[in-house]
């Protein structure tokens, strides 16, 4: 039934707002010669470049969020893109970008589920640099991850096993990456073969 409904749904831009989801007074508002609707249609990278041209303290907070999103490899998203169109990984990284700019946040631990999934190697390197910055700022990152470079970069690895799903759930190793390669777990054997 769900597949049938998804095939039958047709999205049509609202004739009143032209699909911007903005009220008329917002569509008619301009900043530095650019309408709010135009800004919402920009990719995050373009919106950040535009905000850098605005000499106002009001641009600082949104620019921080955009730059954090760029650091997390989200520059291709559009500013007005509905959250329902984002993948789970994109939403997770967007939440992290918001957290990075929240000066009032008091959390000392950030938990991420497979932050490297679907990322290009270049993006993973940038992500690791960002994570180093967070750790240097005395935050603790707990990540569920299987990417070899990510595991090699970790300060500490906790491997659950011995198998997957109901055949696992026990701590089979808890050590540094260097020590981990010397263990006889399935994950350590997988990493050793890959190196």
CA–CA dist 192, 28 (Å, integer): 60
Determine the pLDDT at residue 116. 87
Section 103-116 average pLDDT? 78
Mean pLDDT of the chain, nearest integer? 87
Give per-residue pLDDT as tens, 54-98.
Answer: 999 988 989 999 998 998 889 999 999 988 899 888 888 888 888
pTM over 0.75: no
Determine the pLDDT at residue 3. 60
b/e code 21-54 from CB counts within 10 Å (16+ = b): ebeeeebeeeeeeebbbbbbbbbbbebbebbeee
Determine the pLDDT at residue 172. 95
SS3 for 54? coil
Determine the pLDDT at residue 6. 64
CA–CA dist 120, 123 (Å, integer): 5
Give per-residue pLDDT as tens, 150-166.
Answer: 898 999 999 999 988 89
Length of the chain in terms of residues written: 195
Determine the pLDDT at residue 103. 61
Residue 16 has phi, psi (to 5 degrees) of: -80, -45
**Domain range annotation of the chain:** 1-104
Lookup: tokens for 102: 């929240």
Determine the pLDDT at residue 106. 63
Q: What is the CATH number of domain 1-104?
A: 1.20.1580.10
């Amino acid at each position: 039934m769900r597949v049938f409904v998804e095939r039958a749904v047709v999205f049509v831009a609202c004739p009143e707002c032209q699909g911007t989801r903005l009220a008329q007074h917002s569509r008619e508002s301009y900043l530095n010669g650019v309408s709010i609707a135009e800004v919402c249609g920009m990719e995050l990278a373009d919106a950040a470049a535009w905000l850098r041209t605005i000499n106002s303290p009001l641009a600082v907070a949104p620019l921080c969020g955009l730059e954090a999103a760029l650091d997390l490899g989200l520059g291709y998203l559009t500013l007005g893109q509905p959250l329902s169109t984002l993948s789970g990984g994109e939403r997770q990284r967007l939440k992290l970008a918001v957290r990075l700019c929240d000066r009032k946040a008091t959390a000392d631990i950030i938990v991420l589920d497979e932050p490297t999934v679907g990322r290009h190697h270049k993006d993973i390197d940038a992500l690791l640099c960002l994570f180093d910055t967070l750790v240097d700022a005395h935050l603790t990152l707990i990540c569920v991850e299987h990417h070899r470079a990510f595991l090699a970069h970790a300060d500490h690895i906790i491997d659950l096993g011995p198998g997957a799903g109901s055949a696992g759930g026990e701590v089979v190793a808890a050590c540094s990456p260097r020590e981990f390669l010397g263990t006889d777990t399935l994950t350590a054997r997988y990493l050793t073969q890959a190196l």
